[in-house]
Amino acid sequence: MAFLVEDGTIVAGATSYTTVAYYKAYWLDRGVTVAETDPVIEAALVIVTQYVDLMNRWKGCIVDDAQPLDWPRYDVWDDELRYIESNEVPARLQNAICEYASAQIVSTISPEPSLKGEIKVEMSKLGTLEEEIEYTENSSRTIRSIPLADNWLKGFTVGGLLGNFSRTVRC
């Protein structure tokens, strides 16, 4: 499978939300020297792109039924109520991909990421925005928490631990 980057134009066969150059620039801006080879970075970017698409329920709707990835999307506003154009892959999504990819390179984030466990009890309330989640101990299915990457995605997802509720859109 070729490494193809989605740029907002619905790239056929796209496998990543960001480029190796973006990944390197992201870390250079943070004073981190990237020592990995381009093929290692590409593989990590592909894995984490799949990971974020499978692990998140995004706001809005896909632009085209034929697009290989979940972005670009239309009818999406971030947590600051800025409209995300339907022909772009948001920088915050690309930043999250860089954070996840770095974690992937250091230690695999899937299929068995670090422990939180399976969700045993989940309760939501809209009245006073109450939410309770209880995880089982020592379960075989786990959810990886990478706080900075997770926070880059805040505002693009529906529901979730941060109480990020969104209006329902029928696509």
- Predicted structure pTM score: 0.76
Domain ranges (residues) in the chain: 1-109+145-165, 115-143
- H helix intervals, 56-169: 91-106, 147-153
Which 3 state secondary structure label does DSSP give 95? helix
pLDDT band at 158 (very low <50, low <70, confident <90, very high): confident
pLDDT per residue as tens digits for the range 35-64: 999 999 999 999 999 999 998 999 999 999
- Separation CA 132–CA 122 (nearest Å): 6
Token pair recorded at residue 75: 């009818």
C-alpha torsion 29→34→40→41, nearest 10: 0
Chain CA centroid to CA 160, Å = 13
The length of the chain is 171
